[in-house]
Amino acid sequence: MSGPILVVEGIHKSYGTRRILDVPVLTLAAGESYVLTGENGSGKSTLLRVLAGLEHAEVVACRYDGRPVDLGNYPDWLRRDLIYVHQHPYLFRGSIFDNICYGLRARGLIKASYEPLVREAIAWAGVGALLDVPPHKLSGGEKQRVALARARVLQPRIFLLDEPTANLDAEARQQAIKLISDLCDANRTVVLACHDREIIELPRMNRLNMGRGAIETWNGGAVCV
């Protein structure tokens, strides 16, 4: 197993008397894949959003690749290395190509440098036939593949995927699982929240089961105590 890429200590979040998160230590290893399982309301999505800087929680300490990080004042440089994909991805107005290249353009890349990357991501996600389809007319599975391509083209070191196969039909689900399997095999750290048995049983997938905001059981390369 590779060394740790992300170590977070003392993750706590409550709404009134209701405990949302209570994770003393979470350590994720570089290049490993993790699936968060558990009942609805167990804290899976909230944990992903806290790691992505999209939701606030009390955090005692965090280190990314050995570097101290304040998740309460989420640094821009970390957003380049850690990408979150929502269960229901939002696509911007414009073409599918524009959606996939959005992050690269925001980073200041010129078209000559980002176009080959976007074309490769389009081919990888199998969305070439959708380039002329308005984003609002895409199916849920098609939007998910575009969103995965948009995340992958940024080449983050950590992917956070929230219920990526939920509410997809059988064909769309299989397409998404293939892309997720590719991400897991590409020496990137992947963390998913899901109930999908086929994803849970992917090779080298470390399972973390959550209940009442805590990680109750785990196997593989994560340390949660």
User: Rounded to an integer, what distance in angstroms lies between the CA atom of residue 195 and that of residue 112?
Assistant: 41
Q: State residue 2's pLDDT score.
A: 74
What average pLDDT does the chain have?
Answer: 93
Q: Tens digit of pLDDT for each residue in 161-202?
A: 999 999 999 999 999 999 999 999 888 999 999 999 999 999
Beta strands in 42-196, from DSSP E residues, in sequence order: 58-64, 67-68, 82-85, 158-162, 189-193
Q: Which domain holds residue 113?
A: 4-218
* Residue at 63 is within a domain: yes
- Our count of domains for the chain comes to 1
Q: State residue 218's pLDDT score.
A: 60
* Full-model pTM: 0.93
Q: Which amino acid is at 46?
A: T
Which CATH number is 9's domain given? 3.40.50.300
Q: Which amino acid is at 174?
A: Q
Is residue 9 scored above 90 in pLDDT?
yes
* Residue at 225 is within a domain: no
* Residue at 203 is within a domain: yes
Is residue 79 scored above 80 in pLDDT?
yes
**Nearby residues of 5 by Cβ (< 8 Å), 6 or more positions away:** 28, 29, 30, 64, 65, 157, 158, 189
Q: State residue 225's pLDDT score.
A: 35
Q: Which of 42-51, 196-205, 208-217 has the lowest mean pLDDT?
A: 208-217
Q: Which tops the pLDDT comparison, 18 or 223?
A: 18
* Residue at 224 is within a domain: no
Nearest-5° Cα angle at 205, 14 to 90? 60
* Residue at 186 is within a domain: yes
* Residue at 75 is within a domain: yes
46-62: average pLDDT: 97
* Residue at 50 is within a domain: yes
* Residue at 85 is within a domain: yes
CA 215 to chain centre: 18
